[in-house]
Each structure stands twice: as structure tokens, then as C-alpha cells.
Amino acid sequence: MTRNDSTTTTRRAGRTRIRTLASALVAVGTAFSVCGVSVCALGATTAHAQVLAPDASPAFPSSSTSSSMTPTPAARAAGITGAGTAYMGWSSHVAGRGGASAAAPMTTGAVTPGIDVSSYQGNVDWASYWSQGKKFAYVKATENTNYTNPYFSQQYSGSSNVGMTRGSYHFATPNTTSGATQANYFVDHGGGWSADGRTLPGALDIEYNPYGATCYGLSQTSMVSWISSFLGTYHSRTGRYPVIYSTFDWWSTCTGNSSAFASLSPFWIARYSSSVGSLPAGTAYYTFWQYSSSPIDQNYFNGDLSRLHALATG
């Protein structure tokens, strides 16, 4: 090969590489224009997921790091030993946020007593609680998208076997994955609902963060969007809107006392006192009230047993 032949070949190869690079850049530009950064960053969603406004969707890591899910000292004092072990009302077990020994409060209307449990209680003596008059139970099923309650079967089936109306709940971690993703995980791991008259709609436990900042690093607007995503996806999967569990203080602080879901989801207020106290904006009455954690989380349903069955039936 002559020197001129070699030069010609080199130039042709260079032009080929340039054309290939140009095609790749066009493809990348097309992908961004079609997907949008906020959508592609979250990845593909299921057919049931709601699309949120880009400016209301925080960026979520693909999975939680061990450091971001390390319990705070307050959480450790309440028995939360690691990621996944949070439970309803954990912060009220800590002095200064209600206390755990409030006696059963006086009520003016018909109420139905029940309890809620998690892995914190382990295997539960359901026959004993049934004999004490407890008529319903909520059982923790999931947390984030990487934890399922190892006692779920004994607790969920056991409560039903003695005659209780039962439901399950998901402990939300809004800083880890989207509301839609966590709702799907919940439904796929024990959080579903069926119109059998004994299964309560699932509950979204959204409260003080046991692993860090109270509002999980989200603005009030982003938090409302996250909850909306969870509720919409759960409704698409089950035909029911989930119950929302929280405290008035957390709800006011982290959602700005939003009334966005008052007409959709029953509200479960946590307040360890002799009265329910303030309810979120737009909420005319409580559906469930967690009023004590002694010797186990104690709750009232706001109505008689027939109304509880009506909630379960849908």
C-alpha cells in the first residue's frame, strides 16, 4: 500500500466514526425529548401508576443505602433496630410525644375496639385479644420496597381465624421510592383488598421519619404529590382508597394540613389522649383513632360493628 492509499483509508475511517457518533448523539437527544428527565430518572412505571408533575416529583435513589435507613436515637429508644422495623405510632412510644399509658377514653357514640400489630409484637395470642373484646386488627405488611413483616401470616390469618375483621398497613418512606412504587409493592405483598366483608382497605402509615428528617426531606408540595401517587395507584389496583394513618402534628408540618384527600380516604388519627383533638383540614370525623400503646396499640373504630363490616365490604 502506498502512502497516499494509507492516508485515504484513514480519512474514510475517521468520517465513518464521525457519522456513527453523530447518529448516537441524535438518538440521545431524541430519548431526552421523548422521556423527559423527570420520567426517565424514575424509570418505567406500571400501568396503574399515576403521572406526577415533574416539579413535584423528588428524585429517588434506586435503593436505600444502609446509612440513610439507620434509626435515629429516638427511634432506637422506641425499639426500632434497623430498616424495616418501624411501626405505627412509634414516636408516641417516646417521652414527649403523647406517652404510652393513656387509659381508654370516654366516647359519646358507638365505637368498636381493635388493635394494630407489627413484627414488634411477634406471634400474637389472638384468642386472648378476641376474648377482651377486640373486633378488628391492622397488621403491618410492608415498608419501603424491600421489607415484608416476617410475622405477617401468623398475625393476618390469626386475627381473621378468631373472628376479627382485619386489614394490613404499609409504613411509608417517601424519600426512597415513589408513592406508586411503594403502593404496588404493598398490594403485591399482603396489602390487597377483597369484598369479602372481613378485609379492611389497606392503610398508609405516614408519620414521623424514624431514620432522619421529620418530613423525609420533602417539601409540603412534594409530600402531597407522593401521597397522591400512592393513593391513586392503590385505588387502581384494588378499587378502594386506602386509609391514611398519621398524627395531626405531622400532617400539618409535612403536608401543610392538606385537605386534598379528605373526600377520598378515611383518616386514622393517632393521639394518645382522652380526646381525639384536631383533625386534618376537611376531615369532619375520624374513622379510626389510635389512643394508646399499652399494653399493645389500642384503637377505636368510629361506629358499631355493622359499620365496620360496611367499611370492609366497600
* Catalytic residue of the set 5, 188, 207, 304: 207
Q: Which residue has the cell 420533602?
A: 218
Containing 73, the helix (H) or strand (E) segment is helix 73-77
Does the active-site annotation cover 5?
A: no
Q: Reply yes or no on whether 143 is catalytic.
A: no
Cα separation, 313 vs 126, whole angstroms: 23
Q: Which three cell numbers stand for residue 213?
A: 428528617
Catalytic-labelled residue, pool 143, 205, 249, 297 = 205
188 tagged catalytic? no
H or E stretch covering 137: strand 136-143
SS3 string, 40-67, reads HHHCCCCCCCCCCCHHHCCCCCCCCCCC
CA 271 to chain centroid: 19
269, 249 Cβ separation under 8 angstroms: no
Rounded-to-integer distance, Cα 132 and Cα 134, Å: 6
Q: Among the options 116, 143, 249, 297, which is catalytic?
A: 116
Q: Catalytic positions, please?
A: 116, 205, 207
